[in-house]
Chains A and B, each alone.
Chain A
Amino acid sequence: MLNIQIREDACSGCLSCIAACSLSHEGYASPSSARLQVNIELFTKNQINFCRQCRNAPCAKACPENAITQISKGAPWLIAYEKCTNCRACIQACPFNAMLWDPIQERVIKCDLCGGEVPACVDACPTGALSIVKTGSENIEEGKIEGGKK
């Protein structure tokens, strides 16, 4: 099981990851179409919203159409757009602000780990703020989420 690991204190705010994510998924550069978000904090450290590929993912649970699924256990959660109705229940459900509304494509987007290769964001990160790790994915239980929504 691979996932992205974040070191927020190493983030320089160059937004190379944002550009790489949108470029590799959509062929253009835009924070709106990036599957992770970097909130620039000038006075402390940047805050990065990214998908944890949770084991029992709240986004998938919340989806009334069962449109968010894994190919196999431990694989990234993917959105089946033919089923998605843009109800945005998943956006509400995600504790990490990692289910995102893309105003350009007018659909929900999420991290797909770039199909198993080194994700474009990690490949582009010059500071080591993003890296790829083998982990057991996070087991989300309500109320026990570190670094999640306040």
Chain B
Amino acid sequence: MLYGWIGRILWVNLSSGKVWESDTLPYTRDFIGGRGIAAKLMWDITSNDSSARPLIFMTGPLGGTIAPFGGRTVVAGYAPQGYPHEWYSRSTFGGYWGPELKYAGYDGIVILGRSSEPVYIYIDDGKPEIREAASLWGLGHFDTQQELKSILGDQVRVVSIGQAGENRSRIAVIETETESAAGQGGFGAVMGGKQLKAIAVRGTGLVQVADADLLMRRSKAIREELRRGSIIARNAALDPEKVRKYGERWYACTQQCGVRCMSRHYSHVPGPISGRERAGQLHCCAPCFGGRDTLGESSFYSWRMDFEASFDLACMANDFGINHWDFVFGLIPWLKHCSETGVQTELDGISIDVNDPHFWAELMRKIAFREGVGNILAEGGYRAARELNEGRAFVDEIYAGWGYAGHLDGHGDRVNRVVFPFWLTLGLQWAVDTRDPFNSSHGYQHAAMMWSPFGYRIEDHGKTEAESPLSWAQLQRYGERIYGSSSAFDPRSGYRGKAQPAIWHSNRSAIKDSLFVCDWMLPCMFSLNQEDGWCRADGMEGIDFEWYLFTATTGVDVGRKEFYQAGERICNLERALQVRDFNRTRMDDEEIIPYLAKKEWWESPLLKEKMGAKPKEFRELLSEFYRLRKWSVETGRPTLSGLQELNLGEEAQLLKNRQLIE
């Protein structure tokens, strides 16, 4: 019997209307699920047919069970948001859709081809159908979801695109429920290009687990430890005045999440722009719609919008299916800059006024329908700035690379405080990725800032060592224990010991997105609940929670080392994809250097000087990273023997035959 996985992957060819199934099992040992299996499917499909443009939805083995956070799903394919190439990339979403897909009999769906007319896919307990969607085309995400529920029943779970996806905006998302979205990558445009409006799923089946009692016990212990021990859980306080006014819920961002984090869900917020009453969550970047009003006076995002208007705007972006991150951390700061410097003060005759919610709403509408200047802005902030040739220097300050606005890297986004030398690790991850590597950063940058005397939030600034959750000495000991590098968490270590955590967290992020587990909470290194700050629960060490959940669910007899090696394999396979498809080399990676070389946005309280990356030192660090990765220092590419060691022999041979690797 197969535990954790369902064992079947659904294939849908929208050009021919054919549907068929394949086995999941050949992929599970090496690639686990989610992001790992998606990368392998992508490799296999496009090796056979280089013109194929598959869109892959893949769940993980923990999905639909009780394992904490396991309900997420990855979306993968060639990403329209990518720059300069539409590299293969991935994005994940939560909600209930993934577990429902498993209950309906599939671990994932591969969508090939393109329909000649608007369609949606309906999967009813193992019976997939392609149905016409003429009446849905043109609707926003909320109405699409509602309409499908009224046609197919309330129990159905829906992912859909809004108008932005239909019109193939490069910043279009794929959305489910009120706000869970595969945000980065522009995968909404891929669905739109395929004329696929939605995928609705109903499943009454089951997920087998290897040891139900063990899994329940481990799940509870891990959840309880995180509830008590996580800094993110501690910061979950809501504004009591807003709670009184609008009503409040704690809303699990995905099925199986049992730890309250910073997500805030208000249930009755009037929408002054849309006229709709709004309910939904404000987390991640969504509060930034309000600018200074919701982020505080010192915010770089110094527009001012009242809470209700900003909440409404965030919901409108969800409805149109527009990527929040690119909108509030890219497009709007850029337009604000253009307006303030006088280079561009109006768009299609409307003056740029970032304090006016109606300006934002109109801009979103134009983007979603590619109307007027919206046709250019729909390309995303990075491409739009290049096309309009306005404020490009500023855009280069806030967009780190590959068409994505900065994220936790000390330079681009200006709410997540990360200082030198800790953003160097993320700099390496940015350098070799195809999107913002934020799920990797949530491990290391959060650790280095939140748990250290530096403090992550502005209000934690200036904490003494005694007030800090962990002292520098403790952090350095743990750095040695986790990464084999005591300088990893040393605030005066400069470029020393930064490559090891970059690799460790990159591999672990591949594991998280393959199982799935929470991107914010795991890997669980530290705990407020433990005297020594080292996370553990019921005899399990925090950094091995992933392995404990995996083995109890799947019953796979695998040691920790072999299990975590799957993360290294997945990262290498993704790299191999870049090499095969876009000749990715070290030269590409180094394009991140000018961005990092600019002075950081905050300064280290110890160094008391704003730092930028020194190109020569960063290049040396990159070389160290490649060496530890067993990649060629010269080309930044995996090697034949390195890939073979990871059981990627076929992939290695193909690259070798094409003379792409040595």
Contacts and interface: CB of A to CB of B under 8 A. Distances in A.
Q: Answer whether A and B are interacting partners.
A: yes
B148 interface: no
A120 B216 contact: yes
B255 interface: yes
A22 B252 CA distance: 20
Contacts of B255: 13-15
Given A28-B208, A29-B206, A30-B206, A23 B250 contact: no
Nearest to B217: A123
Interface string A3-36: 0000001101111100110111011111111000
B287 to A, nearest CB: 20
A70 interface: no
B207 A20 contact: no
A143 interface: no
A23 B208 CA distance: 9
Nearest to A32: B204
Interface string A87-99: 0000000000000
A31 B103 contact: yes
Q: Is the interface of A mostly helix, strand, loop or mixed?
A: mixed
B277 to A, nearest CB: 8
B178 interface: yes
Contacts of A126: 223-224, 227, 258-259
Interface stretch (A42-50, A59-67, A72-80): A42-50
B256 A16 contact: yes
A24 B205 contact: no
By CB atoms of chain A within 10 A, which of B103, B208, B212, B279 has the most? B212
B250 A16 contact: no
A40 interface: yes
A7 B103 CA distance: 27
A14 to B, nearest CB: 4
A16 B68 CA distance: 8
A13 B220 contact: no
A127 interface: yes
Contact of A30 (B207, B216, B258): B207
B137 interface: no
B304 to A, nearest CB: 28
A40 B96 CA distance: 10
Interface residues of A, number: 33
A148 B255 CA distance: 26
A13 B65 contact: no
B477 interface: no
Interface string B211-222: 011011001100
B446 to A, nearest CB: 22
Interface size class on chain B is 35 or more
B251 A23 contact: no
A22 B204 CA distance: 13
A54 interface: no
Nearest to A10: B250
Q: Is the interface of B mostly helix, strand, loop or mixed?
A: loop
Nearest to A45: B249
A51 to B, nearest CB: 20
A104 interface: yes
A14 B206 CA distance: 17
A28 B66 contact: no
B216 A20 contact: yes
Contacts of A15: 96, 99, 252, 255-256
Interface in B68-113: 96, 99, 103
Contact of B258 (A14, A22, A31): A14
Contact of B252 (A13, A19, A24): A13
A27 B214 CA distance: 11
B313 interface: no
Nearest to B279: A43
Contacts of A127: 250, 258, 260
Contacts of A28: 206-209, 212
A40 to B, nearest CB: 7
A84 interface: no
A42 B257 contact: no
A42 B212 contact: no
Given A12-B249, A16-B256, A23 B206 contact: no
B177 interface: yes
Contacts of B205: 30, 32, 104
A32 B206 contact: yes
Interface of A: 9-10, 12-16, 19-20, 22-24, 26-33, 39-40, 42-45, 103-104, 120, 123-124, 126-127
3 shortest A-B CB distances, which residue pairs? A126-B258, A30-B206, A19-B66
Given A29-B64, A30-B206, A44-B267, 14 more contacts: A10-B250, A14-B257, A14-B258, A15-B96, A15-B99, A15-B252, A16-B219, A19-B256, A20-B216, A27-B212, A31-B204, A40-B96, A103-B204, A124-B66
7 contacts: A29-B206, A30-B103, A31-B103, A32-B204, A43-B178, A43-B279, A104-B204
